[in-house]
């Protein structure tokens, strides 16, 4: 009976430790790419989180962290968690293009997905404070100027809409 107990304990021990072993970095990268190609987004999210946890110093980790925010939106429509991840990118990778993109995306998510216009204004204003000469700055200024305005009320959007109607022969002229 005691032999069986130790044998079962040994098997349990092996099972626990063999399941917790993480694949080598390169294997995880291949697995993540495979899941993305197969459009298995939820599984890709899990694997990316595992990758980030176990390989925080990898050169792939910053891009995966940024991608994770996008995947949370795509798979779960979890905008608040995506914002949290973008904030992590800003803190962990200052001075990178990912920081710029994340700061923009926070404003964009607040404005266009959550309708939280004051939070959007705050995020966009922070973007302009930190990155006044970035190529996205004109877009951010436009977003601020048009926060809360219905797209059909924006002159450029209305002009494009009218041009589309004329091109399709549906204009009421």
Calpha distance 27→47 (Å, rounded): 11
Determine the Cα–Cα distance for residues 106 and 119; give it in Å rounded to an integer: 9
Between CA 11 and CA 44 the distance in angstroms is 30
Place of tokens 């939280």: 116
Query: For residue 152, what pLDDT is reported?
Result: 83
Class of domain 25-152: mainly alpha
> Which value, in Å, is the radius of gyration of the alpha carbons in the chain?
23
Q: Is the pLDDT of residue 119 over 90?
A: yes
Percentage, residues of the chain above pLDDT 70:
78
Greatest CA separation found in the chain? 93
Rounded Cα gap, residues 113 and 79, in angstroms = 8
Higher-confidence position of 172 and 58: 58
Helices (H) and strands (E) in the chain, counts: 9, 0
Residue 14 pLDDT: 47
Per-residue pLDDT reduced to its tens digit, 26-36: 999 999 999 99
Which secondary structure element, helix H or strand E, spans residue 94, and what is its range?
Answer: none
Residue 79 has pLDDT above 90, yes or no: yes
């Amino acid at each position: 009976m005691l032999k069986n107990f130790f044998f079962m304990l040994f098997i349990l021990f092996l099972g626990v430790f063999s399941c917790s072993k993480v694949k080598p970095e390169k294997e995880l990268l291949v697995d993540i790419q495979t899941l993305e190609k197969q459009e298995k987004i939820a599984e890709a999210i899990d694997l990316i989180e595992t990758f980030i946890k176990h390989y925080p110093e990898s050169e792939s980790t910053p891009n995966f962290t940024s991608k994770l925010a996008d995947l949370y939106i795509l798979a779960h429509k979890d905008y608040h968690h995506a914002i949290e991840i973008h904030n992590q990118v800003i803190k962990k990778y200052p001075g990178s293009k990912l920081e710029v993109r994340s700061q923009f995306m926070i404003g964009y998510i607040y404005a266009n997905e959550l309708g939280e216009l004051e939070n959007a204004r705050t995020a966009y204003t922070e973007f302009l404070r930190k990155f006044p000469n970035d190529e996205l700055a004109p877009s951010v200024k436009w977003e601020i100027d048009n926060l809360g305005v219905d797209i059909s009320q924006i002159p450029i959007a209305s002009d494009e809409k009218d041009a589309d109607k004329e091109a399709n022969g549906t204009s009421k002229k």
